[in-house]
Amino acid sequence: MKTDLKKVLSISGQPGLFLYLSQANAGVVVESLVTKKRACFGISARITSLADISIFTETDEVRLQYVFEKMHEVLGEENAPAGKSKPEVLKEFFAKVLPDYDKDRFYASHMKKVVEWYSCLKDNASLDFVQEEEEKAE
């Protein structure tokens, strides 16, 4: 089954990624991709869809989905570097994946999140993503 990044959420202060299930009176109902436990988060929670995240390059911004696809091309079935890797390891990895990433605005802390999200999706969902053209057809 393909992963729709519009429905995969990052919630500030919460580890891992969540799958959007439905709207609730005071927020949203989500399910952890890792534990499969459901929870409700209120409107004050800082919730971000992975589809809304972009990474700065020297010329433009690139959608996170594109970065995940490039990571998969580079890694194949290998695992991404651990989020706790040294910043030099993460920077070297992203130099292979996205050679023109903006070194002034794409920090090691961002790289850490991206590799952790990639690993979470690889282990608990799919790296085969719903494309925009497919969404419009549905």
pLDDT at 136: 52
Q: pLDDT tens digits, residue range 26-74? A: 899 999 999 999 999 998 999 999 999 999 999 999 999 999 999 999 9
Q: Which CATH number is associated with domain 53-124?
A: 1.10.10.1650
**pTM score:** 0.90
The SS3 of residue 33 is coil
pLDDT at 132: 72
Neighbours of 25 (CB within 10 A): 7
Helix ranges (DSSP H) in the chain: 64-75, 87-97, 108-124, 132-137
pLDDT at 134: 52
The span from the CA of 40 to the CA of 100, in Å, is: 39
- For 45, residues 6+ apart whose C-beta sits below 8 A from its C-beta are 11, 12, 13, 27
The whole-number average pLDDT for the span 124-136 is 77
Q: Using alpha carbons, list the distances in angstroms from residue 138 to 6, 42, 49, 55, 126.
A: 15, 30, 20, 28, 20
Reported as a pLDDT band with limits 50, 70 and 90, residue 123 is: very high
